[in-house]
């Protein structure tokens, strides 16, 4: 199937040279990084798809905004501009900047949860899960079953399983459920979208049991674009109108602005109308992040973020962004390479379990494919599977993830059609000799968020 590449709605004004390395140099670099993708030096990577977070190319307008940034400690004009943008887009009364998404979680979650409580999500991202656990609570994933079958194509595979969610609420008792977190798009399930219908149903059940709903809003614009394409009720609505509608069905949001707000650093907390909660959020922000009107950011970051929030919802941009993913996915279909289908919003999640069936979950197939991609073509990806999931916090046993993905996260406005062709070619070459790819064992790991720092070695059988 041929899918035409949607041309970029921008032109390139500044370039960044990439170092070209030999296969032998890459093998050495990988060994020195202890086989951890996060241990590689950025300059040793040809195409960096480790994350789409903070790796985006800012526009000329954003860079101009950087120069306009007001660096006042208190009351900077860039802060007010950002708050107005947040209120305008999301319809929430209170907007608090923080330095990134996990800072938003660190500020908000301890105000809502404690030991003995649980939080339920359509799927927690790793840092979000970590902050639930750091607050003393337990995180429960409750995504729809169809998300667990990468070959099953459905329009909203990121949705919450609402029936199961209600059963979990009843099982624990509503007073034990501290929060429901709706991750849009659902990163860990492959950047899969969540429908507005699902957001509405979740909110209705949450209100019945008086449980607060928080949107993990990192990829709110990509989610809105999928809603426009796939949910009939919204096909004639603007992205801005869809965004407003999505955020109606929550009480708060935490946002890593490093994704859809197309900046290199930034985060937000939104509170719909709870003034008491806002006072507490301000208190924690001052303790952890800095004064309320800068929240761990420079005035220049606040300015770039307030511009990026609007650029991220531009429909021509979203059409190109989605088109880039569709082009990549169609090439994989042609090559018979399995991935979480249909393709998600911010990247392609290759089904490493299908490509490397000889590697069991406890030898991390998603990670094994990531290492091979680097050696083969200098492409840096990462595991979204059992290696990332880690150990059970109670038993310390390795958990088995629902998926074993290797994630190709595509930075926004950075790579071109030629780069995507290189990614496809590397995957085809690895698939041809898949049996030669080794599994991995961990030789050292820290107690929390281990995948960022763990040391590994290949298992040569």
Ligand X SMILES: Cc1ncc(COP(=O)(O)O)c(C=O)c1O
The answer to the question of residue 96 lying near ligand X (CB under 6 A) is: no
The answer to the question of residue 289 lying near ligand X (CB under 6 A) is: no
- 192/123 Cα distance (integer angstroms): 11
Asked whether 371 and 377 are in contact (CB, 8 A), the reply is: no
Which of 125/364 has CB closer to ligand X?
A: 125
The answer to the question of residue 102 lying near ligand X (CB under 6 A) is: yes
Asked whether 160 and 147 are in contact (CB, 8 A), the reply is: no
Which of 132/423 has CB closer to ligand X?
A: 132
Q: Of 183, 223, 284, 406, which one interacts with ligand X (CB under 6 A)?
A: 183
Q: Is 39 exposed, middle or buried (0-12, 13-18, 19+ CB in 10 A)?
A: middle
Return the active site residues.
Answer: 73, 125-126, 216, 218, 259, 451
- 407/35 Cα distance (integer angstroms): 16
Place of tokens 């070695």: 457
Q: Using the 8-state DSSP alphabet, how is residue 134 labeled?
A: H
CA angle 436, 439, 440 (to 5 degrees): 140
CA angle 227, 58, 314 (to 5 degrees): 30
CB of 290 to ligand X, least distance (A): 16
* Residue nearest ligand X (C-beta atom): 101
The answer to the question of residue 267 lying near ligand X (CB under 6 A) is: yes
Q: Is 244 exposed, middle or buried (0-12, 13-18, 19+ CB in 10 A)?
A: middle
Q: Of 218, 307, 373, 426, which one interacts with ligand X (CB under 6 A)?
A: 218
Q: Using the 8-state DSSP alphabet, how is residue 344 labeled?
A: -
CA angle 429, 433, 435 (to 5 degrees): 145
Q: Which stretch binds ligand X (CB under 6 A): 108-116, 122-130, 159-167, 395-403?
A: 122-130
The answer to the question of residue 386 lying near ligand X (CB under 6 A) is: no
CB of 330 to ligand X, least distance (A): 25
CB of 107 to ligand X, least distance (A): 12
The answer to the question of residue 256 lying near ligand X (CB under 6 A) is: yes
The answer to the question of residue 121 lying near ligand X (CB under 6 A) is: no
The answer to the question of residue 125 lying near ligand X (CB under 6 A) is: yes
CB of 99 to ligand X, least distance (A): 8
Residue 34 CA from chain centroid, whole number: 25
Q: Phi first, then psi: what are they for 118, rounded to 5°?
A: -125, 160
CB of 385 to ligand X, least distance (A): 15
Q: Of 127, 198, 214, 306, which one interacts with ligand X (CB under 6 A)?
A: 127
Residues making contact with ligand X (CB under 6 A): 53, 100-102, 125, 127-128, 183, 187, 216, 218, 256, 258, 267
């Amino acid at each position: 199937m041929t899918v035409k590449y949607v041309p970029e709605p921008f032109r390139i004004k500044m370039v960044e040279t990439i170092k070209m390395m030999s296969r032998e140099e890459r093998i050495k670099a990988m060994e020195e990084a202890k086989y951890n993708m996060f241990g590689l030096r950025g300059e040793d990577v040809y195409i960096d798809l480790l994350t789409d977070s903070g790796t985006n190319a800012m526009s000329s307008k954003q860079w101009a905004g950087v120069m306009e940034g007001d660096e006042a400690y208190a009351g900077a004009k860039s802060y007010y501009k950002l708050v107005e943008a947040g209120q305008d887009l999301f319809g929430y009364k209170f907007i608090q900047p923080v330095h990134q998404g996990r800072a938003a979680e660190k500020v908000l979650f301890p105000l809502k949860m404690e030991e003995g409580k649980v939080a339920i999500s359509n799927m927690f991202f790793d840092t979000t899960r970590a902050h639930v656990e750091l607050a003393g609570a337990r995180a429960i994933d409750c995504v729809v079953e169809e998300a667990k079958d990468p070959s099953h194509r459905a329009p909203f595979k990121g949705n919450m399983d609402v029936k199961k969610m209600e059963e979990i609420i009843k099982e624990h008792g509503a007073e034990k459920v501290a929060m429901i977190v709706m991750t849009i798009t659902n990163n860990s399930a492959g950047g899969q979208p969540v429908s507005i219908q699902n957001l509405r149903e979740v909110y209705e059940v949450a209100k019945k049991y008086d449980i607060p709903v928080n949107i993990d809003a990192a990829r709110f614009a990509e989610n809105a674009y999928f809603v426009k394409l796939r949910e009939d009720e919204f096909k004639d609505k603007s992205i801005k109108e869809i965004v407003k509608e999505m955020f109606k069905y929550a009480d708060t949001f935490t946002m890593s602005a490093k994704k859809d707000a197309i900046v290199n650093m930034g985060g937000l907390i939104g509170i719909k109308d709870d003034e008491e909660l806002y006072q507490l959020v301000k208190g924690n922000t001052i303790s952890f992040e800095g004064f309320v009107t800068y929240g761990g950011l420079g005035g220049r970051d606040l300015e770039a973020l307030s511009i990026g929030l609007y650029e991220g919802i531009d429909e021509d941009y979203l059409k190109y962004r989605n088109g880039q993913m569709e082009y990549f996915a169609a090439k994989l279909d042609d090559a018979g390479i399995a991935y979480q289908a249909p393709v998600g919003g911010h990247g392609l999640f290759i089904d490493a379990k299908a490509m490397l069936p000889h590697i069991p979950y406890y030898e991390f197939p998603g990670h094994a494919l990531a290492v091979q991609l680097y050696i083969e073509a200098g492409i840096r990806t990462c595991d979204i599977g059992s290696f990332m999931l880690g150990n059970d916090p109670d038993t310390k046993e390795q958990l088995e993830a629902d998926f074993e993905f290797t994630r190709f996260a595509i930075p926004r406005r950075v790579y071109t059609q030629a780069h995507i062709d290189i990614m496809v070619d590397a995957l085809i070459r690895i698939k041809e000799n898949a049996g030669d790819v080794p599994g991995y064992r961990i030789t050292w790991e820290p107690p929390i968020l281990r995948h960022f720092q763990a040391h590994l070695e290949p298992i040569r059988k």
